[in-house]
Structure 1
Amino acid sequence: MAVTDPVDTRLLAALAELGKAAVHELAAKVGMDPREVAYRLVALSGSGLPLLVGVESDPQGLRAAIAGAPPSWANRPPPQYPAAPPSQPMPQQPPPMPPPVQGTPSGPYNVQGAPSGPYNVQGSPSGPYNVQGTPSGRYPGPPPRPPQPPRPFTPPAPPLDPAVSTWGLPQTASWARGDEPVKPAGTGKRGRSGEVMETQGLEGEQLSVQLLEVQDPADYLFSAAGYRLEDGERAVVVHTEITNRGSIPFASLPDNYLELLAADGTAIGKAPVSLTSRPPHKIGVKPGETLGGHTVYVLPDATRVVAVRWSPRPEPDERTLTWTIED
């Protein structure tokens, strides 16, 4: 009989080298599933090849299993077999199947080396991207985000009652100073560029954040790093500094949720690039440590930026800090 299946040929060549071997040992040598190896060996044995497929057992253990008594090997873990590579498709006319085995299988074969699940990566790269030469296309950033609905940066809607307009809503103190609008609830602290404001992280970290500088536009810095802006775009670079005043390490990227706020309330997220001349933020701020970094933004040239917002989470809350940058 001539063997034409390349998988059978490889299997028989390995068996000829070993001479005599258990099914799982032969399967480990050729890198296949033991069940498929057993199936192919039984089929090849019935085709007239000088091949004998045998089974070795523990007679006392089998009798105990048949009698219903718990065998001594019942609590042993299942054998570990290596993962099987993809094999060639089986013939359309399979050879006779081996006689059915009574009982139920002990379980699936556990494959060693397989990952237990996806790896969660937090934050952004901690170092700059080294760019050699000028890229042939635009910067490797995400496509422009569609316009976002205004977030709670806009002042509250004017009241309908003239008396309320004069004295403010009940239980508020908007009548005390007429030059400042009522701050919407849950938007945190507000200041101006250059001010240091204190807040907390998600784990209770005691933080101080300062907006040092906003370079708008910063197209020349963007081009010097090897990136290219599309027509109608401009780059903005924001320099911030963060201090950990407490005893709990701040383990996140300081500018992970540092956003620009447009005049219409749209939030603009940072671009996934860094500039060699303006070092980016690095992940983590130890207790007592002060670190600074630069964040890059790419936005439409017609967008008017009015504020910079820092938050420890994607949505603003009472821990959010907002700096006004308009004169």
Structure 2
Amino acid sequence: MGRAAVPDIAGRLGMDVREVGARLAALSTTGLPLIVGVECDQQGIRNAVAAAQQWAAQNAPHPGAQYSGPHPMSGPHQVPGAQHLSGPHQVPGVSGPQHVSGPRQATHAMPHPQQPVAPQPPMSTWGPPGSAAWARGDQPAPVPAQAPATTGQVGTRLEVQGVSGERISIQLIEVVDPADFLYTAAGYELQPGERSVVVHTELTNHGQVPFPSLPDMYLELITKDGAPVGKAPVSMSSRPPHRMGVQPGETAGGHTVYVLPESTELAAVRWTAQPGDPQRTLLWDITDL
């Protein structure tokens, strides 16, 4: 391919973007003439950082808040880590042997605080869960509420918010099932017992932030048993695939190809912004096709 974005390569291969990036980075260290680079929207990065900083400032504790540790004790008490000594030993700065029996004792008194202050919960300095900031590693991530997926039929345009905050809508235009004649006309060959399906979708970016990924990165077919069918790593010149990224105010269309067992019964087409994200899931019913 010469020059390509990692998500584009992942889309062609039907693999996870992180795995493709890790493999390319590993290959670049073996002496191959391969450079793995990074390109980003500078203003978008600045906006994400500013939003995380604003959230941290709004959730900062009161300036007068105090944290209290273990309550101090007065009078003789056991010093943590004290060594048990018996018999004569030399104390630095004192002539002659000194005899100490039992654990060392601290005889100084420590003052009590006037009023104990209840400990405050630690502030999360990594931003809200689900945002561009990462979650704290010392606290379990909260489990988001399971919201029902937005549903529609073929031809319905459904709206959703992207991972970066972009407002987008996706329309399921057409489902060609079976699409064996398109598949073989593009030069591909189906194995006995297989069939192909072509799904045509359009993504419109209504926000001010570019949509950075392939519109059909996680577009799946759902069988009547609830099993997902991922897209095949092929494209057809007669049915152009999706391209990487959609700028604000633009609408981009493309076709996604699937290869599945001939006897599989399909129930829906599902789009998600990222795997395991029920908050950003769209579902189109295709049982009547």
The TM-score, its normalising length taken from structure 2, stands at 0.51
Counterpart contact for 2:221–2:228, Cα < 8 Å = yes
Instruction: Name 1:186's counterpart in structure 2.
Output: 147
| Contact 1:124/1:253, CA 8 A, preserved across alignment | no
Aligned to 2:174: 213
Secondary structure of the corresponding residue to residue 181 of structure 2? helix
Of 294, 298, 306, the match for 2:255: 294
Deviations 1:41-72 (A, max 9, x none): xxxxxxxxxxxxxxxxxxxxxxxxxxxxxxxx
Q: Give the drift of 1:141.
A: 8.2
Alignment of 1:4-83 (within 5 A): none
Structure 2 CA distance for aligned equivalents of residues 193 and 204 of structure 1: 26
Shift of 1:326: 1.3
1:141–1:281 distance in 2 versus 1, CA, 3 Å: closer
Give the structure-1-normalised TM-score.
Answer: 0.45
Cα RMSD, aligned residues only: 2.3
CA-CA distance at 1:294 after TM superposition: 0.2
Deviation at 1:287, TM superposition (A): 0.1
Aligned to 1:222, the other structure's residue is in SS state helix
Partner of 1:259: 220
Give the deviation of 1:120 after TM superposition: 8.7
3-state SS, counterpart of residue 122 of structure 1: helix
Contact 1:126 1:283 in 2 (8 A): no
Asked if 2 retains the 8 angstrom alpha-carbon contact of 1:141 and 1:273, the reply is no
Distance 1:126 1:257 in 2: 9
Of residues 233, 240, 245 in structure 2, which corresponds to 1:272? Answer: 233
Match of 1:240 in 2: 201
What is the CA distance between 1:121 and its match in structure 2? 2.1
Q: Does the C-alpha gap of structure 1 residues 231 and 126 become closer, same or farther in structure 2, counting only changes over 3 Å? A: closer
User: Residues 11 and 233 of structure 2 are in contact (CA less than 8 Å); yes or no, is this contact kept in structure 1?
Assistant: no
What is the distance in 2 between the residues matched to 1:125 and 1:274?
A: 13
In the TM superposition, structure 1's runs of 4+ consecutive aligned residues that sit over 6 Å from their partners are: none
Displacement of 1:193 after TM fit? 1.1
For 2:188 and 2:152, locate their aligned partners in 1 and report how far apart those are by CA, in whole Å: 33
Distance 2:6 2:247 in 1: 20
Query: Residue 121 in 1 paired to residue 82 in 2?
Result: no
1:314 and 2:275 matched? yes
Distance 1:229 1:275 in 2: 14
1:281 maps to which of 235, 238, 242: 242
Q: 2:220–2:271: 8 Å Cα contact kept in structure 1?
A: yes
Cα separation, 1, equivalents of 2:264 and 2:243: 28
Residue segments in structure 2 that go unaligned for 5+ positions in a row: 16-144
Shift, 1:301, TM fit: 0.3
> How many residues are treated as equivalent by the alignment?
156
Residue identity (%): 55
